[in-house]
């Protein structure tokens, strides 16, 4: 599973030590850093708490109430009834069959959850030049913010030249928002006029990336509800424009899912996958109290793994997904 | 679609074999409660709230008499629906307008819940519904370009936007905006704030300070309808810090069942005031708690359909019809009366849409109401004798009926022919009952 940036991205280059993040940009976000600190703290607290509490809870696996508490913990984390039933069912069967107890059972549970969340292919391939990454999602899930942070990471951690494309031509000031991020990440940005064809912006961006010799093109699109057929068609068209311009592109399509989302997240993922194909989830806003368990349901039912998580509003607050940490946090 | 689509379907399925029993047994009720729990969780109602809710419903169901036309399944559905509606809150609520304008409305919420869009939508709503002159204060100084976004959407709804860029402190901008709203004689000032996490102490304190500074008449929490179990944490934390008076539910045009609305209402007691239902700025309306209850149940509008069916279908008429069918005496007259009964319940599409399970299948299917009008007109242009014996309708009669109904001879022919085929079909069904809507309704599913 990816733990740092060079492990997440398939670059086709020999792995090198990631360059230190530009200090100027890091200084620009001093007050934002506390989010990351807080999350780290809470994750480590979780780890300890989990081992203690789960061991107590599951010391007697044949205790019905114990299993029920476990189910409830997963449901409260938005994992959903079906996925919860399956995970707990599997654990229960293994416990009875293999005599798993106490600590071993706890560890096995975290393992099961991590396995599901990880999926088969949780890497992002950016070997193509330019590699095209398309960002899609429902309104307000954090596409533009993710685009900005991802551009920064690609540039400062992996030394890639990145071009941002503001293909959200619908929402007022979306272009300005991405421009602000582009400035922070020190990346060029291609924009269109408000209301113009998002496909045209994507087209321009690809053309410019070629002339400039950029490594990666990040295309930010307008938020849309998965139930709006016309807007989903528009998105499919953007994808077709990209594919026509660069064979094999987009090389990655990331769906942003807000960690606070409930069971509707499954519908979102299913319909976006149907319209444009989704290679991975960016689970955003994980710095609150929401556990993002819906990502587990999405991975299990649709086979789409989480690749990135958003944990704050600063440039550094986007991280490669770590299935084990996630699984533990789910049970906090 | 999910197996949890319609709780009403499931309950009626689970309890269908009980038809004819006088009361619900504890076993029946327990089975029903399991379905209710799963369905509500699937709709994102918080587990805590689900537990309280099912406890209440269970109590009411136990020993409840199965009365009137309802079978046990429908009985439970009715109890669930009643409880859900009362928990959701009864009538729609409005803002509390200050007798001394401007009325100050503060919007708060998580990032991405839709505050800025809601600010413009609310401004437009107040302007069109109450003829209010509205100003928007740009106090989201965190998100890049949030001020520009408010300026743009504010312009689209002809609301004044008070902004000072992003240099000052949000509370100072709010105070300045309030002073300006007073001096410019605005009726309402809507204050847009940054999205913030409920666990971010510093930013929550900033929000509390804005509240203390401008003393709003209404603090509204903007909540995404797709929010899951975490909704109650959000509501509790925002409630503690800024004591909101109402909730605006956004992105309701999606297919989320919106259980978060119920959770928030149950935990904080705060009503949902408005609902945002689309991308366009006019897609914003007052919130209807009863509709939301039905949506969470995922059961179409089955209760009102049951009620309508009970009102509209005359038991005796139905029996008589069945009798006629058996004796092969079904006439155009009877057909007309059936058609009218169904249409009394409302437009056919909405009647069908109210049936759980069917609603989704027929989404997009079009029933041409005008075609039904034409059929009615043709039958009404016949003499009673012709309606009883359609075989009489030939040559000049055809022409007369066509003229009388404003249709054509072909249309009359077609109806007579179709009716003849229908009669034949009914004859084949012979001893069986006619699958009429009224009977289906009473029997449950």
Q: Cα-flanking dihedrals φ and ψ of residue B18, to 5°? A: -85, 0
Confidence of residue B63 (pLDDT cuts 50, 70, 90): low
SS3 content of chain B, % helix, strand, coil (to 5): 55, 10, 35
Say if the Cβ atoms of B112 and A78 lie within 8 Å: no
Q: Are residues B71 and B155 in the same domain?
A: no
Q: Are residues B284 and B312 in the same domain?
A: no
Is pLDDT of B226 > 80? yes
Q: Are residues B108 and B66 in the same domain?
A: no
3-state secondary structure of B383: coil
Q: Cα-flanking dihedrals φ and ψ of residue B39, to 5°? A: -65, -40
Element (H or E) spanning A306, and its range? strand A306-310
Last residue of a domain, one of B240, B262, B297: B297
Write out chain B residues lying below 8 Å of A263, CB-based: 41-44, 228, 256-257
Mean pLDDT value across residues B42-55: 91
| CA terminus-to-terminus distance, chain B | 19
Is pLDDT of A34 > 50? no
Q: What is the CATH number of the domain that holds B41?
A: 1.20.120.140
Q: Give the list of residues 6+ apart from residue A160 with CB closer than 8 angstroms, or none.
A: A11, A126, A154, A215, A216
Q: Are residues B330 and B417 in the same domain?
A: yes
Which of A82-96, A307-321, B366-380 comes out lowest in average pLDDT? B366-380
- Encode pLDDT of A162-200 as tens digits: 999 999 998 888 999 999 999 999 999 999 988 889 999
- Encode pLDDT of B393-445 as tens digits: 888 899 999 999 998 998 898 888 888 877 776 666 544 444 443 333 333 33
Q: What is residue B8's predicted lDDT score, i.e. its pLDDT?
A: 60
Report d(CA A298, CA A292) in Å as an integer. 11
Q: Is residue B31 part of a domain?
A: yes
Q: What is the CATH number of the domain that holds B408?
A: 1.10.260.30
Answer whether B38 touches A (CB < 8 Å). yes
Mean pLDDT value across residues B270-296: 85
CA B200-A265-B195 angle, to 5 degrees, is: 25
B174 burial type by CB count under 10 A (0-12 exposed, 13-18 middle, 19+ buried): buried
Tokens 């599901």 found at: A116
Tokens (6 digits) for B56: 């209440």
Q: Are residues B140 and B24 in the same domain?
A: no
Write the residue in B113, B149, B256 that is nearest to A173 by C-beta: B149
Q: Are residues B286 and B310 in the same domain?
A: no
Write the residue in B145, B230, B233 that is nearest to A173 by C-beta: B145
Report d(CA A285, CA A290) in Å as an integer. 8
**How many whole angstroms from its chain centre is CA B251?**
14
Say if the Cβ atoms of B227 and A173 lie within 8 Å: no
Q: Is residue B394 part of a domain?
A: yes
Write the residue in A177, A231, A268 that is nearest to B143 by C-beta: A177
Q: Which residues of A111-138 are buried (b: 16+ CB within 10 A; e: fewer)?
A: ebbbebbbbeebbbbbebebbbbbbbbb
Mean pLDDT of all residues in chain B? 80
Is pLDDT of A156 > 80? yes
Write out chain A residues lying below 8 Å of B234, CB-based: 260, 288-289
pTM of the model: 0.76
Report d(CA B409, CA B399) in Å as an integer. 6
**DSSP label at residue B391:** G
- Encode pLDDT of A211-249 as tens digits: 999 999 999 999 999 988 899 999 999 999 999 999 899
Q: Are residues B433 and B338 in the same domain?
A: yes
Q: Are residues B82 and B116 in the same domain?
A: no
Is pLDDT of A4 > 90? no
B244 close to B237: Cβ distance less than 8 angstroms: no
Which among A121, A122, A126 has a CA at the least distance from the CA of A163? A126
For testing contact with chain A, the best of B138, B142, B226 (most A CBs within 10 A): B226
B229 close to A76: Cβ distance less than 8 angstroms: yes
- Residue A191 pairs in a beta bridge with A166
Host domain of residue B15 = 2-87
Last residue of a domain, one of B54, B87, B120: B87
Say if the Cβ atoms of A264 and B255 lie within 8 Å: yes
- Encode pLDDT of B304-361 as tens digits: 555 555 545 555 566 666 676 666 677 888 778 777 766 666 555 555 554 444 444 4
Min Cα distance A136 → chain B (Å) is: 15
Last residue of a domain, one of B252, B268, B297: B297
Q: Are residues B59 and B168 in the same domain?
A: no
Say if the Cβ atoms of B229 and A76 lie within 8 Å: yes
Write out chain B residues lying below 8 Å of A175, CB-based: 145
Q: Are residues B288 and B353 in the same domain?
A: no
Residues in chain B: 445
Write out chain A residues lying below 8 Å of B199, CB-based: 38, 287-289
Write the residue in A170, A180, A288 that is nearest to B230 by C-beta: A288
Write the residue in B41, B112, B152 that is nearest to A141 by C-beta: B112
Write the residue in A78, A175, A176 that is nearest to B229 by C-beta: A78
Answer whether B240 touches A (CB < 8 Å). no
Q: Give the list of residues 6+ apart from residue A277 with CB closer than 8 angstroms, or none.
A: A239, A253
Write the residue in A72, A78, A264 that is nearest to B254 by C-beta: A264
Q: Which residues of B255-268 are buried (b: 16+ CB within 10 A; e: fewer)?
A: bbbbbbbbbbbbbb
Q: Give the list of residues 6+ apart from residue B82 with CB closer than 8 angstroms, or none.
A: none
Q: Are residues B376 and B358 in the same domain?
A: yes
Interface of B with A in 249-308 (CB under 8 A): 251, 253-257, 259-260, 279
Say if the Cβ atoms of A260 and B142 lie within 8 Å: no
Which among A224, A283, A217, A225 has a CA at the least distance from the CA of A252? A217
Is pLDDT of A158 > 70? yes
Which among B64, B65, B388, B114 has a CA at the least distance from the CA of B227? B114
Closest-CA residue of B relative to A77 is B229
**DSSP label at residue B176:** H
Q: Are residues B197 and B160 in the same domain?
A: yes
Q: Is residue B93 part of a domain?
A: no
Tokens (6 digits) for A237: 């068209």
Is pLDDT of A31 > 90? no
3-state secondary structure of B108: strand
Confidence of residue A25 (pLDDT cuts 50, 70, 90): very low
Count of domains for chain B: 3
Q: What is residue A224's predicted lDDT score, i.e. its pLDDT?
A: 94
Q: What is residue A62's predicted lDDT score, i.e. its pLDDT?
A: 56
Report d(CA B341, CA B70) in Å as an integer. 20
Say if the Cβ atoms of B260 and A262 lie within 8 Å: yes
Q: Is residue B46 part of a domain?
A: yes
Is pLDDT of B74 > 90? no
Q: Is residue B92 part of a domain?
A: no
A67 close to A109: Cβ distance less than 8 angstroms: no
Report d(CA B286, CA B359) in Å as an integer. 24
Write out chain B residues lying below 8 Å of A258, CB-based: 112, 224, 226
Kindly list the distances between the CA atom of residue B218 and the CA atoms of A189, B16, B90, B211, in Å, as whole numbers in the listed order.
Answer: 40, 47, 20, 10
- Encode pLDDT of B349-374 as tens digits: 555 554 444 444 444 455 667 777 88
Dihedral sign (CA A147, A149, A151, A154): negative
Q: Is residue B18 part of a domain?
A: yes
Answer whether B44 touches A (CB < 8 Å). yes
Q: What is residue A49's predicted lDDT score, i.e. its pLDDT?
A: 44
Kindly list the distances between the CA atom of residue A55 and the CA atoms of A50, A107, A114, B34, B391, in Å, as whole numbers in the listed order.
Answer: 8, 9, 18, 28, 83
3-state secondary structure of B16: helix
How are beta strands B218-224 and B103-109 bridged, if at all?
A: parallel
Query: For the residues of B223-289, what is the DSSP string, one character each?
Result: EETTB-TTHHHHHHHHHHHH--SEEEEE-TTSS---HHHHHHHHHH-PPEEEEE-SSSTT-EEE--H
CA A310-A204-A144 angle, to 5 degrees, is: 15
- Encode pLDDT of B109-122 as tens digits: 999 999 999 999 99
Q: Is residue B96 part of a domain?
A: no
Answer whether B138 touches A (CB < 8 Å). no
Say if the Cβ atoms of A225 and B227 lie within 8 Å: no
Q: Is residue B236 part of a domain?
A: yes
């Amino acid at each position: 599973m990816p733990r740092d940036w060079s492990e997440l991205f398939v670059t086709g280059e020999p792995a090198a030590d990631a360059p230190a993040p530009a200090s100027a940009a890091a200084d620009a976000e001093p007050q934002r850093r506390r989010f990351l600190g807080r999350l780290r703290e809470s994750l480590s607290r979780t780890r300890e708490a989990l081992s203690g509490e789960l061991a107590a809870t599951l010391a007697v696996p044949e205790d019905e109430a114990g299993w029920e508490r476990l189910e409830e913990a997963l449901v409260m984390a938005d994992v959903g009834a079906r996925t919860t039933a399956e995970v707990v069912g599997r654990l229960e069967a293994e416990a009875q069959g293999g005599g798993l107890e106490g600590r071993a059972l706890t560890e096995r549970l975290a393992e099961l959850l991590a396995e599901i969340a990880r999926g088969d292919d949780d890497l992002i391939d950016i070997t193509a030049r330019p590699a095209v990454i398309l960002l899609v999602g429902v309104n307000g899930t954090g596409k533009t913010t993710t685009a900005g942070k991802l551009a920064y990471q690609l540039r400062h951690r992996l030394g890639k030249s990145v071009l941002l494309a503001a293909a959200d031509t619908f929402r007022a000031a979306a272009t300005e928002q991405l421009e602000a991020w582009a400035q922070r990440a020190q990346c060029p940005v291609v924009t269109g006029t408000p209301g113009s064809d998002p496909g045209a912006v994507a087209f321009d961006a690809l053309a410019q990336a070629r002339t400039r010799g950029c490594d990666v093109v990040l295309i930010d699109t307008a938020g849309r509800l998965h139930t709006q057929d016309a807007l989903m068609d528009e998105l499919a068209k953007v994808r077709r424009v990209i594919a026509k311009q660069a064979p094999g592109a987009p090389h990655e399509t990331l769906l942003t899912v807000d960690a606070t989302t409930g069971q509707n997240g499954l519908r979102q993922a299913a319909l976006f996958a149907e319209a444009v194909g989704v290679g991975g989830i960016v689970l955003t806003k994980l710095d609150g109290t929401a556990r993002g368990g819906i990502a587990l349901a999405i991975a299990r039912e649709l086979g789409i793994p989480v690749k990135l998580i958003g944990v704050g509003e600063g440039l550094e607050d986007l991280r490669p997904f770590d299935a084990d940490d996630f699984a533990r946090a789910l049970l906090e | 679609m999910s197996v949890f689509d319609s709780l009403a379907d499931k309950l009626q399925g689970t309890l269908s074999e009980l038809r004819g029993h006088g009361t619900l047994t504890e076993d029946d009720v327990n089975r029903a409660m399991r379905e209710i729990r799963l369905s509500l969780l699937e709709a994102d109602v918080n587990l805590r709230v689900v537990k309280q809710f099912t406890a209440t419903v269970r109590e009411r169901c136990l020993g409840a008499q199965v009365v009137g036309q309802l079978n046990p399944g429908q009985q439970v559905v009715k109890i669930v629906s009643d409880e859900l509606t009362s928990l959701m809150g009864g009538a729609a609520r409005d803002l509390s307008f200050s007798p001394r304008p401007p009325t100050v409305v503060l919007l708060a919420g998580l990032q991405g819940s839709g505050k800025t869009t809601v600010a413009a939508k609310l401004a437009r709503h107040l302007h069109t519904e109450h003829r209010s002159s509205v100003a928007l204060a740009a106090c989201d100084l965190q998100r890049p370009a949030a001020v520009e976004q408010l300026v743009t959407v504010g312009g689209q709804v002809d609301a004044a936007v008070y902004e000072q860029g992003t240099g000052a402190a949000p509370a100072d901008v709010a105070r300045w905006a309030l002073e300006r709203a007073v001096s410019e004689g605005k009726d309402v000032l809507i204050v847009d704030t940054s999205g913030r996490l409920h666990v971010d102490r510093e930013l929550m304190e900033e929000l509390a300070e804005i509240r203390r500074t401008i003393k709003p008449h209404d603090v509204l929490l903007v909540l995404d309808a797709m929010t899951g179990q975490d909704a109650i944490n959000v509501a509790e934390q925002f409630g503690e810090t800024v004591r909101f008076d109402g909730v605006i539910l956004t992105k309701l045009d999606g297919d989320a069942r919106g259980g978060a609305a119920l959770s928030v209402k149950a935990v904080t007691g705060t009503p949902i005031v408005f609902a945002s239902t689309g991308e366009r700025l006019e897609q914003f309306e007052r919130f209807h708690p009863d509709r939301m209850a039905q949506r969470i149940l995922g059961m179409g509008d089955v209760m009102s359909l049951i009620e309508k069916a009970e009102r509209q279908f005359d038991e005796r008429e139905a029996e008589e019809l069945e009798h006629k069918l058996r004796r092969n005496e079904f006439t155009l007259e009877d057909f007309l009366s059936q058609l009218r009964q169904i249409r009394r319940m409302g437009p056919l599409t909405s009647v069908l849409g109210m049936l759980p399970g069917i609603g989704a299948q027929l989404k997009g299917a079009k029933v041409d109401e005008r075609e039904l009008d034409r059929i009615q007109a043709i039958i009404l242009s016949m003499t009673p004798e012709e309606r009883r014996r359609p075989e009489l309708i030939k040559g000049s009669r055809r022409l007369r009926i066509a003229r009388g109904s404003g249709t054509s001879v072909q249309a009359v022919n077609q109806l007579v022919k179709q009716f003849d085929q229908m009669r034949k079909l009914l004859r084949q069904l012979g001893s069986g009952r006619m699958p009429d809507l009224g009977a289906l309704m009473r029997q449950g599913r």
